[in-house]
Structures are given as C-alpha cells and as structure tokens.
Amino acid sequence: MTEPRFNPEETTRPDMQRPNIELIQAAGKLPSATLHEAAGKIGALPAAIQPVAPDFKICGPAVTVHSPGGDNLWLHRAIYLAKPGDVLVVSVSDVYEHGYWGEIMSTAAKVRGLAGLVINGCVRDRRLLSLIGFPVFARGLCIRGTGKDFGARGWINAPTRFGEVTVNAGDLIVGDEDGVVCIPREDVSRAIAASEAREAAEADQLKRLKAGESTLSIFGWQ
C-alpha cells in the first residue's frame, strides 16, 4: 500500500521580506561578535555551530527550515525555494547525529547562488565542502545517512528556534570563525550603525593600548 504524502505547500511560505542589499553588504564587512554586542547582546546561535572550513563566512537573509529528525528532504526543497543570496537556516528537531548535507547539496546550492547554510545538526564531506567553497556552518560531522520521508511534516519560512534564539524568515544571518549571529530584520540598520561605531571605538582603544595605556584606565575600571 502506498504511504500518504504530505503536501509541502501546506507549511511552506514562499515569499518573505529581506533587508535591502546595501545593508547586507555593510553587515558582511562586520564581525559576528561585533554585531551581537552592538545589537544589545542578542542573536547568538548555539556555539556548537561552527564553520566547516576555517575561511567560511556567511551573510544574508534567512530562509528557515524545520526538518524532521534524520531526514533531509525539506532541505532539498528549501534549496529550490530560496533566492540567490539567501542563507538556509536549518533545525533538525534536535536529532543531530546524521549527515544532513554534503557534496551534492553544496553543489546544488552554489549553482542556485545561495549564500550559505547554517544547520543545528551535522554534515559530511568536509574536505569536499571546503573545495566547493559554499559556506557551511554546522554542529559537527557525521557519516550517518538520512532518509526521505514524503509523508513527514516540515516547515519552510516559519519561525524556528535555535537554542535561545528564534530565527524568522528574512532575519539577517552573519557567520564567521567566531560563530553565527541572527539580527532581526527590523533591527538590521540600527545594529550596523552601532557596530560601525563600536569598531571605530575599538580601533581607538587599540591605539591607546599600544601607546602604553591600560585597559583599566581606558574603560574607567580603576
């Protein structure tokens, strides 16, 4: 007997608002830690999510994916729903120990022009992912395969929880060697302005430190 299929259109929102391209480009020049601090210490995704290759960087609006555990069919669907420049931000229902993503999917996503993947789960093919150059941030590596359950319910572009952070479709995602931050779409302009001011202040602080001042005197902690 044929298993019933779930219609993905029931839980997929195809359209979303994105930050404007000028803001995305400005954010891409800023460290993830600076954006997190300057935005009010918000948006830090779980520290276990790290770049698969040390030079990977990521910046773009989130396409959120909530996938059934041990299954990556919804990730394949999201690749073809997302627009160039988007970042797939994927929850795997806390079932981390599978290789949800690898060489084939990175190649497909790169051809589509996507900006990267952030997944609260594991991937595989680390050497090949590095060679392909499509930025992947993941919890770790795992060779265990996934399934394709056409009857399973998932969600695309629904609010999705990552640790203490809820990521909404269109939020700005920035990742580098220090980790990944999510800035709510409506706060992006303010966060960038505050980050640029923070970067300028830190440049002045470094200059003063090199001239012999102490951190205690610079920050008034004496």
Tell me: is residue 124 an annotated ligand-binding position. yes
Rounded to whole angstroms, how far apart are CA atoms 101 and 142? 10
Look-up of token digits 């302005």: 193
Q: Is residue 103 marked as binding?
A: yes
Cβ atoms of 66 and 93 closer than 8 Å: yes
102 annotated to a ligand binding site? yes
Residue 55 vs residues 52, 58, 131, 133, 178: alpha-carbon distances, Å: 9, 10, 11, 9, 11
- Beta-strand ranges (E) seen in 8-135 are 50-51, 58-66, 87-91, 116-123
Say if residue 105 carries a ligand binding annotation: yes
Task: Round to whole Å and give the CA distance between 58 and 72.
Answer: 21
Q: Is 1 marked as binding a ligand? A: no
Residues whose CB falls within 8 Å of the CB of residue 220, separated by 6 or more in sequence, listed in order: none
Residue (of 140, 144, 102) closest to 121 by Cα position:
140
Strand partners, 58: 175
104 is in an annotated binding site: yes
Annotated binding site for substrate: 102-105
Annotated binding site for Mg(2+): 124-125
Annotated binding site: 102-105, 124-125
